[in-house]
């Protein structure tokens, strides 16, 4: 299985590097935006795969290539590394609440071994900036990346659980949900959703508010309620 997994992953990495490169250098798309796919190691059937919106940043692809002295990003330069980059970089500040959520004896090992990616691989300061390009290359970038993310989930990584962070990740994968989202955990007073659940190709899938936004849902009692629920799920 390891050999087959590595073959499939390496093929996927080559296809993503080639596809994103072609989008970024196509003058008709106006998408001179850097890209990468992962913020973690990539393994077969991890307990958890975490999917966000897209990487933050505002580097131009052409400028990043010049700075690094390369012609283009290759399959070996898509962010695959030996550890969870949220933990290695203290959550990059804005994502500390995610590290806090997956703390403790039950959840931290799951988080350390999680595969971390995004539904779109192109870097922008906010997802809205990508959406503003939808009449140009953004539409093609979205179509390509969503398709490759689904291939990663369904055919290559096959995680035991999927966590979708924020509206863009949820919205752009909704068409692949096996069934409508259902509330799993709500706030005790207002009844607002904290965690919703569905499945993707039979894989339990959970949707939460983006950890870098919506401070109310990512601190205090709401954060503790989510942690306890995920401890139950991963115990």
Mean pLDDT of the region 65-72: 96
221: phi then psi, degrees, rounded to nearest 5: -60, -40
Report the pLDDT value the prediction gives residue 127, as an integer from 0 to 100. Answer: 84
Report the pLDDT value the prediction gives residue 1, as an integer from 0 to 100. Answer: 63
Report the pLDDT value the prediction gives residue 203, as an integer from 0 to 100. Answer: 98
Q: Which CATH superfamily is domain 2-234 in?
A: Uracil-DNA glycosylase-like domain (3.40.470.10)
Mean pLDDT of the region 21-44: 95
Q: How far apart are CA 180 and CA 173, in angstroms?
A: 12
Position 15 pLDDT exceeds 90? yes
Q: Rounded to two decimals, what is the model's pTM? A: 0.95
Q: In what order do the strands lie in the sheet with 203-208?
A: 115-118, 49-52, 162-165, 203-208, 193-200, 182-186
């Amino acid at each position: 299985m390891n050999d087959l997994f590595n073959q499939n992953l390496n093929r996927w990495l080559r296809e993503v590097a080639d596809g994103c490169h072609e989008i970024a250098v196509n003058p008709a798309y106006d998408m001179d935006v850097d890209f990468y796919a992962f913020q973690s190691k990539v393994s077969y059937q991890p307990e958890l795969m975490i999917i966000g919106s897209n990487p933050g940043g505002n580097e131009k692809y052409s400028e990043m290539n010049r700075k690094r002295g390369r012609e283009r990003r290759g399959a070996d330069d898509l962010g695959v590394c030996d550890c969870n980059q949220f933990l290695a970089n203290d959550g990059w500040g804005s994502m500390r609440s995610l590290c806090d959520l997956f703390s403790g004896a039950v959840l931290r090992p799951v988080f350390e071994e999680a595969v971390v990616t995004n539904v779109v691989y192109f870097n922008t300061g906010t997802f809205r900036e990508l959406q503003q390009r939808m009449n140009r290359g953004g539409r093609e970038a979205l179509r390509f990346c969503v398709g490759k993310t689904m291939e990663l989930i369904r055919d290559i990584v096959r995680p035991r659980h999927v966590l979708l962070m924020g509206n863009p990740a949820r919205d752009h994968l909704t068409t692949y949900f096996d069934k409508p989202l259902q509330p799993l955990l709500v706030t005790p007073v207002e009844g607002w959703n904290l965690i919703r659940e569905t499945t993707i190709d039979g894989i339990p899938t959970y949707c939460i508010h983006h950890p870098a936004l919506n401070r109310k849902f990512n601190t205090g009692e709401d954060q503790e309620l989510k942690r306890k629920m995920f401890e139950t799920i991963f115990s």
